[in-house]
Structure 1
Amino acid sequence: MAKGLQGFSWTMLLLLCAIQELGSWAVHTAAEGPGLGQPGDPALLVSGRVKRGWVWNQFFVVEEYTGTEPLYVGKIHSDSDEGDGSIKYTISGEGAGTIFLIDEITGDIHATERLDREQKTFYTLRAQARDRQTDQLLEPESEFIIKVQDINDSEPRFLEGPYIGSVAELSPVGTSVMQVMASDADDPTYGSSARVVYSVLEGEQHFTVDSKTGVIRTAVADLDRETQDRYEVVIRATDMAGQLGGLSGSTTVTIVVTDVNDNPPRFPQKMYQFSIVETAPVGTAIGRVKAEDSDVGENTDMTYQMKDEEGVEMFKVTTDSNTQEAVITVQKPLDYESKKVHTVVVEALNKFVDPRFVDLGTFRDQTIVRVSVLDVDEPPEFRPPSNLMEVQEDAQVGSVVGVVTALDPDTANHPVRYAIDRSTDTERIFDIDANTGAIVTGKVLDRETAGWHNITVLAMEADNHSQVSRASLRIRILDVNDNPPELATPYEAAVCEDAKPGQLIQTISVVDRDEPQGGHRFYFTLPPEATNSHHFSLLDIKDNTAAVHTQRVGFNRQEQDVYLLPILVVDSGPPPLSSTGTLTIRICGCDSNGAIQSCNSTAYAMSATLSPGALIALLVCVLILIVLVLLILTLKRHHKSHLTSEDDEDMRDNVIKYNDEGGGEQDTEAYDMSALRSLYDFSEIKGGDGGGGLGEEGPSGNPASERHALPQWVQSPDLDFSMFRDYICRKVEQADEDLSVPPYDSFQTYAFEGSDSPVLSLSSINTWSSSSEQDFSYLGAWGPRFRQLAALYTGRRGEEDSEES
């Protein structure tokens, strides 16, 4: 190729020289100063020829010159040069002095280096003509261009490689695959050096390429991915429009054949065999089968199904999405004794079918799967599986309730033994015959205590008790009429004294613990002892209730305030049972509207006359009253806590116990409280040695400094001091029990002084008189009574005692 380039370059050089020899043409450079003609100048048009300064030929230099001598480029010449060597020619600009050299005398320009048009297409230089002696410019400096002449030295190149394309298999002829494009660095404007054409070097049996555009297309219609899934095609690009002597370049294009769903699934085997034990639970996997598909990707996705009725009933097939396998599982319990081998048909279908290739064949395949059932030793089975039995509650112990039956499902048919799981019958109400399975009663039954019994029956092989089955059995206890009817509640009624005949007093209902299948039916009547009663009548309403009415005009509760009416109730049997209940009827006083005002029972009267709203209102009032009393007591205690030591402290507010020895060594009755305990026995007070009484403080709050003897007292037969005694005892008891109350809210008690005291008593109770201003308002309604008792107790004020206590 290098020799071809060199020959072509010399051919071009000789051609240029021939053109130069044919004649030269003058180029008038744009010189400064007057006298220089310009194109279109009127002077040029008149004279037709003007004086030109610079004269040279067109400059071209052929690229890739490989000669040993400098390559002649051209000659610059001034028309003022007479050839005597007085003019010196120089150049400047791109490559001057290095790439391009000029002869100073002749103006010949030579190229000293090898040029490449693809790197630089032209060079711009400036020429000067100077006087050799004076070095002055004889001509204005002029610019000229040296063009690098192109030769076909660059082959086409595929710059965008590597190329990878794809086409679907079975595509028709002429299907576009992809486009390739080559570029040529030569001058596209000069000759055919850059005109590229394309052709296929390798792979032309399957693909073609457009010579001008580089589009690759299929050449055949039978591309099969399953046979060959990729092709390496070599494409060549040649310049000079493919003519002889043109340069070329090539590239390899990888064409991938993509898959289409043109292959149906196929089972590698026409029959598969699996085995499974008969006791395998539902959902157990038996085995896996898989159909092969030559396609790839989603075109291999499959679904499986059962084709025969037996397979659909007994087995289930699903698709494993990861492995595309058919998973066969048990859908119905297996039984070796019923059928030992199952034969089913499994079908595989493509999940995604390409409609373009449906005509190529059926996209499904079938295979036969044989499932062998293996025998195992199974526990007995209950037949039939009835779990309900009934027995009457009056059945005798040992009565047969029912019979359970269990058989060994195995071929050996071992004998079966029965038992009851005692965790479900802890009281041993039932027993079972171990050989026959007959269930009998073990105890007396009572439906009213337990109407249902749930027990578990065990059936096991006689020689292998580990093979056991369980069955839940529900036993219903049937009712018999063994309970008499009874009144629903202890009925009580009230009737006004002025009641009229026929007035409804009470409606009676009945309860019965029995539950007859036909339902309850009760009959009401008065027993013989009440039949002759002319006060009340009983009416059977026929709906299992009865009504009691008055039968006379008016009642007198002074004569009789309570009536007890016996009522006989009989059920419908069989056998009929009866009982007698009593209705309590109270005679009450009523107002004009018939509202009960009072009866012989306070509780009954209140409950009969007060409505629920009235009872609630009464309770609210009581609560409010209690709160007010507590508030008053709190304020009173708060007020007393601020009293000074001079404040009055009387006996009704304090009870202070002095546990001292008494008045003397022989005083052994210092703690005798008989004066307060026995208020009726005043003879002891009259004759006793010691004194006792209630302590009292004066108005100033200090203890009384004077003591008075108790007067002689004669008990009046009609006086009752029980209220006084009970009140004091109650207050003392409250003070003793309430430990949180300060001592200033209690009574004071004083024991007797002793046997040697010269005075009769130290009690200050005798200081009370009928005219005393002592305040008993805190006793409420009992205040006046207490004052009266105090006055009666003291009689009159005694004489002051001169001795101090």
Structure 2
Amino acid sequence: MLITEGVRRPAMASARQVLCLCALLCVPRVRCEPIRYSVAEEGESGSVVANVAEDAGLTPAQLSARRARIASPAGRQHFRLERATGRLVLAERLDREELCGRSLTCTLAFELLLENPLQFFRVEVAVEDVNDHSPVFPEERVTFQILETSDPGSRFPVEAAHDLDVGSNSIQAYTIAPENEYFSVSFETHSDDDKYVDLVLDQTLDREAHSELLFSLIATDGGSPPRSGTTQIHIVVLDVNDNAPTFTQKLYIGRVLENAPMGSVVLSVVATDPDVGLNGDISYRFSQSVGESHLPFTIDSMSGEIRVTKILDFEDAQKYEISVRATDGGGLSGMCNVMVEVVDVNDNAPELVVSFFSSPLPENAEPGTVVALFAVRDRDSGVNGEITCALEDQLSFSLRPAYKNYYELVTVSTLDREETAQYLVVILTADAGSPSLTNTQTFTVDISDVNDNAPVFNQTSYTMYVRENNIPAVLVGAVSAVDSDAGPNAKVIYSLGPVYAAERDPCSCISVNSENGHVFVLRPLDYEQVRQLEVLVSATDAGSPPLSTNVTVRLLVVDENDNAPVVLHPAQDSSPPSSELAPRSAEPGALVAKVVAVDADAGQNAWLSYELAKATEPGLFRVGLHSGEVRTARSPLARDAPRHSLVVVVKDQGRPALSATATLTVVLAESVAELLSELGSAAAPAEPAGSLTRWLVLAVVAVSCLFLAFLLLPPASGALCGEYMYLRTNGKYFNIKCNLSCYVCFPYNIVVV
């Protein structure tokens, strides 16, 4: 039979609960009065207790969405929650006597816990007693030896029957069946733990008429229907020994520590008998009650000392009620009650029961986020059961009291997984006993990653090199970036971007591997056209939203010796070839001519050297190795031919070296007339003499005028030695540096700008 508290509570209590539920719906995790129900014991598993969702102001849909469940600090689940209907049902058959013993009240408390957001309700279910136990006497047969001289009104104590039920279902009356004229029963109740049953002698016995009497003593409880228990009373009428043992106290009370060693004396009971001899010899024994067949005590039959025989535990039993019978040698006996109270000592460390724990925790969780909800308890009582709870050396978390002995573990600062990926939160609990007992509970809180770190390159910029005329798709280097996040948030993808915002597309001749950052040059490059390139490489993680970082990659093209020297002077395609004049009176080392060449390469590939490869008179002229100047090696002799042909080889310093040749003609003459004569002899025979003479005169005049112009013009109007000029040859212009011999070496084809 199930009875909900909502039916039996007064209207005022019901209104208070409604107001409490309204407040709870408005404010997260508001603590208020518990929701109370009552249920009769012995109900079948699955029986409905009440609709807890309705009483808590929740709908079944909310129970499922918020993952509602029942959390019991004791660990044993007597009830279960049907999320689909919101009903609270029995998870097992309840036995009130097993749960609460003979306590007048029996309440099972638990929490209705809801997650996301965290909220809980305190629920208390009172287990109502039903009359499911009959009274039971300690002994099936009790024998009394009563003197026939006993006075009417004499009382003979009988050990009371025991009924595990409580309240009105406990024992209410004792009767005798069949009734007789000699005895009646007296039943007195001073408290739940202090009950006396006596057989009262109504008239004097006559052993000669009745030496023995046999009848039943019946104990009846107040249940509906009532239950009863019976014990047989056997009366033996004695002819002598008219005094029964009498205890000095009706009730003896002793106290013993729960850690008392075995053999310790708890107390002593004392009974006296005015008889002498055998009728005055008293022996003591326990008259054991129902459920107390394994008492942790023993009694000395001669002295009445009660000693400890087993280890005591206050948490299992706080007191023991024992009946002691004293019997003399004539068979008369008396009874007393002994109550032994077990005194608690601090022998139980605090316990921590976790109801809710959230791990892993995202690193962007705000301060105040609830990580765990737990309860602390101590099986000891009084001061020994008072508990303090604290964190051990922890700055990122704190404890916040929630409800009675409940605490919440919450964050107090922002978390950073890259700094600390896991926290070991140690909670220390201690009771107030002396000495204090402690316990620790460790929570391992893992921090989950959030994409809050962009990739970082291992260099601020990269410089890479590639030789010109490279093969397509050649690997020239790699960029590398790391992301301190984890998982997909740490996966780095590389890509190219334009260096300047105005550019729409990145350079098409460079690519980067998106997985490993390898940089490739896709097509051959020409150093003479492109000396260097700059690209922007972006490293992007796979987070949501993704984060990225850019770095500049500078690609330098390394020169290859792929251009041969080009001779600028003397012009190799002129017709007739130009001639250089050298006086026969020239001293050794006199400048005769200058070979000028350039190389489009760079570095040592453009470093030129000159050497005389062939000459009409090998010992007459020499060429400067690096200057290309043609000078006399000795003074010309009269026997030397007037016209000399020289072949100069120009080489660069590349590997392999490339070269070019320059051919020039040197005429030895002492005067202009001799020069004209030599030049005339070299003219083409088909040209008329007058025409050749005219051209030679014009050439000499032009050279003389040009020479005078260079000497007379101010520095601002012409090129001085050490300045640059443009030299035109073969229809091309070259920028060369002038020197003191330029007017001798370059009498032709010079354009001053």
Whose strand proportion is higher, 1 or 2?
A: 2
Please give the range of the TM-score, normalised by the shorter of the 2 chains: 0.3 to 0.5
Normalised to the residue count of structure 2, the TM-score between the two structures is: 0.37
Normalised to the residue count of structure 1, the TM-score between the two structures is: 0.35
